[in-house]
């Protein structure tokens, strides 16, 4: 490739990036804000807490289902 072709390719990618940014701002999205390392860390903790709470609820449901099935097994074995 020649130097002229390389610069032409770079120029076209820049213009498409600029049009992408313009369309993103037109869509009503909030502007991107860089987070500090502390904010990233706190966000990870919050997501992990939510995940743990969700999994604890799933565990409770599974334990209830297991208990019902074991009671049904006892009824069937006694008959």
Domain spans, the chain: 36-79
Separation of alpha carbons 48 and 41, rounded Å: 11
CB 72 within 8 A of CB 79: no
pLDDT digits (tens, 9 = 90+) for 38-50: 999 999 999 999 9
Separation of alpha carbons 76 and 25, rounded Å: 65
Residue 63 confidence class, pLDDT cut points 50, 70, 90 = very high
Return contacts of 3-10, CB within 8 angstroms, 24+ apart.
none
pLDDT digits (tens, 9 = 90+) for 6-57: 555 555 555 555 555 555 556 789 899 999 999 999 999 999 999 999 999 9
DSSP assignment letter at 28: T
* pTM of the complete model: 0.53
CB 64 within 8 A of CB 72: no
pLDDT value, residue 79: 79
């Amino acid at each position: 490739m020649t130097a002229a072709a390389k610069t032409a390719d770079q120029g076209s990618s820049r213009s498409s990036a600029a049009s992408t940014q313009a369309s993103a701002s037109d869509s009503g999205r909030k502007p991107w804000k860089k987070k500090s390392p502390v904010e990233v860390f706190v966000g990870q903790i919050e997501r992990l807490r939510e995940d743990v709470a969700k999994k604890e609820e799933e565990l409770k449901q599974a334990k209830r289902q297991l208990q019902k099935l074991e009671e049904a097994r006892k009824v069937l074995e006694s008959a």
